[in-house]
């Protein structure tokens, strides 16, 4: 699976994430939000208090590798467990993945299947 497909699955099928995967993703996204902001300590404390940043070793364990590893592993797991529910919206013309499951226009070849 390529990273683009993995990101698509994790983004559009987020409800299929397990509780721990969801917490791990929220943790990653919170770290990204904290990068480069002022008063980081204050925000970090607030993020921890609202559980956006996790202290759970089982959650942090999922993030041992790179962010991309986590996204790829999670997307593969979702696809394996929900094969019939995940729609990979591939362009009927060039076969590449559309931007969203609902898209009816290809961002690569411009094909329109409305």
Binding site for Zn ion (CB under 5 A): 91, 93-94, 106, 108-109, 111
CB of 108 to Zn ion, least distance (A): 5
CB of 93 to Zn ion, least distance (A): 5
CB of 8 to Zn ion, least distance (A): 15
Cα(42)–Cα(63) distance, integer angstroms: 24
CB of 105 to Zn ion, least distance (A): 9
CA 3 vs. chain centroid, Å, equals: 10
Q: Which is nearer to Zn ion, 32 or 108 (CB)?
A: 108
Q: Which is nearer to Zn ion, 80 or 114 (CB)?
A: 114
Long-range own/partner contacts, residues 97-104 (CB < 8 A, 24 or more apart): 97/4, 97/5, 97/8, 100/8, 100/12, 101/12
Total count of residues recorded for the chain: 114
Q: Which is nearer to Zn ion, 87 or 94 (CB)?
A: 94
Rg for the chain (alpha carbons), in Å?
A: 17
Q: Which is nearer to Zn ion, 56 or 101 (CB)?
A: 101
């Amino acid at each position: 699976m390529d990273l683009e497909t993995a990101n698509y699955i994790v983004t559009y099928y987020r409800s299929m994430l397990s509780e721990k995967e969801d917490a791990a993703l929220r943790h990653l996204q919170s770290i990204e939000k904290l990068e480069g902001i002022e008063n980081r300590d204050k925000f970090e404390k607030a993020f921890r208090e609202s559980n956006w940043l996790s202290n759970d070793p089982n959650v942090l364990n999922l993030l041992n590798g790179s962010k991309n590893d986590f996204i790829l592993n999670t997307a593969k797991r979702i696809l394996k467990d929900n094969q019939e529910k995940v729609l990979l919206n591939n362009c009927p013309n060039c076969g590449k993945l559309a931007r969203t499951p609902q898209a009816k226009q290809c961002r690569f070849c411009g094909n329109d299947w409305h």
